[in-house]
Amino acid sequence: MGYTIAEKILLAHIDKNDIQPGEFIEASIDLALGNDITAPLAIEEFKKAGFKKVFDRDKIVLVPDHFTPAKDLRSAQQCKFLADFAREQKIRNYFEVGCVGIEHVLLPELKLVLPGDLVIGADSHTCTYGALGCYATGVGSTDLARAFIDGRCWFRVPNSLKFTYTGRLRKWLTGKDLILYTIGQIGVDGALGRVMEFVGPVIRRLNMDERFTISNMAIEAGACAGIIEPDEKTLRYIGSAPRRFKIYKSDKDAFYEKAYEYDVSELEPQVACPYLPSNVKPVGSLKDVKLDQVVIGSCTNGRLSDLRIAAEILKGKKIKSSLRLIVIPATQKIYLEAVREGLVEVFVKAGGIFSTPTCGPCLGGHMGILTEGERCLATTNRNFVGRMGHSHSEVYLSSPAVAAASAITGRITHPQEV
């Protein structure tokens, strides 16, 4: 029996000649990530255990991105705690305001994650990097603390599920629609503890930004990782890599617990309704849903191509006067390119605001908190009760195209209608 991509990567990081789903392994990692919420807890545990030096200052990444720029005293203290530790340990990959970005967009942009890597992050959306053909998964802060000590982590070898997409996507359909549709089909626990491996001609035609979006939301189906086999687009994205990497492909006789196949030729833009990412409906069935706020950004859809799509729809138009439009680029590089291309001017002239990179509203942190009774359409990844503020507010999830069109009309709208 052959191996899946996930199994091959895990096997390459342990001292064994074979691997089986269900077994527990202790593996060496290539990168450990923490942010301003999760890393301080890991640092406290690291120090409490009596250790003075991290295992490798080049394999730890610290990114204060959730509550930054610091929204209050407590968040400022968290960031300072992170900064002090980075200086003390001489951690090379620490990214403060000014050079910061949303972690799951910043790391691929800086080529800190590469195909074949084994990556852990104390953030559930670490699975984003699977779009590069690496095994990336979220862990707890105590797991991160242990990795700081010796660069190792315990894993339970997961089974893999295969998702094949055929047909051709209609205009305005993106990777966000594919993953929302998939989660709607299998549920928020449909891939619980498994790896979601995405394949097929539709996946191969997607650009890297859309692939990142798909892998990013694998966790919303309960998956520990979402992996896409590297191809020529992956290699072009990486360009000149700073270190060696290895491309893994699943064997033809690899075992998959279950295989799904979807012909997406007739797929409409998808929207996840409150209060689960699996409560998915076609956009046409939600045209009477009125909105108070639209957010375009996050680690799911804050990349340059996302902003371009939104600007294409918003150019020369005005948003609904009763609505707030918040646009957040995921990194400083994306911010600058959006300025150069005139995208920022489009958003501001339309009546929106353009923010510095931050996770902000996605987790109900700042830059777009909802009060009681308010309703938001966002390009983020979660819409649980109280996710963006008050427990009696509502969050709907969509692609940037649907979000931009809806900002114009003030209600959930298909992009072809504006």
Mean pLDDT, to the nearest integer, of 292-296? 98
Domain boundaries, the chain: 5-261, 270-412
> Which residues, 6+ apart, have CB-to-CB distance to 128 below 8 Å?
104, 105, 108, 136, 212, 215, 216, 299
HSE-up (13 A, CA, CB side) for residue 418: 28
Q: CA 286, CA 373: separation in Å to the nearest integer? A: 18
Please indicate whether the domains covering 5-261 and 270-412 agree at the CATH topology level: yes
- Rg of the chain over CA atoms, in angstroms? 21
Q: What is the pLDDT of residues 95-133, one digit of tens each?
A: 988 889 999 999 999 999 999 999 999 999 999 999 999
Q: Is the pLDDT confidence value at 87 over 90?
A: yes
**In the prediction, which pLDDT does 98 show?**
87
Neighbouring residues of 99: CB distance < 8 A, sequence distance ≥ 6: 332
Give residue 1's pLDDT band: very low, low, confident or very high (50, 70, 90).
Answer: confident
Q: Which residues contact 257 (CB under 8 A, 6 or more apart)?
A: 21, 159, 160, 161, 194
Long-range contacts of 85-94 (CB under 8 A, 24+ apart): 85/39, 85/43, 86/62, 89/53, 89/54, 89/57, 89/60, 90/57, 91/54, 91/57, 91/60, 91/61, 91/62, 92/57, 92/58, 93/58, 93/60, 93/61, 93/62, 94/61, 94/62, 94/63
Of 209, 204, 244, 252, nearest in space to 228 by CA: 204
Average pLDDT of the segment spanning 308-326: 97
Paired tokens of 376: 């938001």
CATH architecture label of 270-412: 2-Layer Sandwich (3.30)
CA-closest candidate to residue 301, choices 232, 415, 185, 207? 207
Q: Can you give the pLDDT at residue 368?
A: 95
CB 186 within 8 A of CB 267: no
pLDDT band at 313 (very low <50, low <70, confident <90, very high): very high
Tell me the CATH number for domain 5-261. Answer: 3.30.499.10
- Answer yes or no: are the C-beta atoms of 218 and 192 closer than 8 Å: no
pLDDT of residue 275: 97
Name the pLDDT band for 90 (thresholds 50, 70, 90): very high
Query: Does the pTM of the predicted model rise above 0.75?
Result: yes
Tens digits of per-residue pLDDT, 395-417? Answer: 999 999 999 999 999 999 999 99
Q: Report residue 12: phi and psi, to 5°.
A: -70, -15
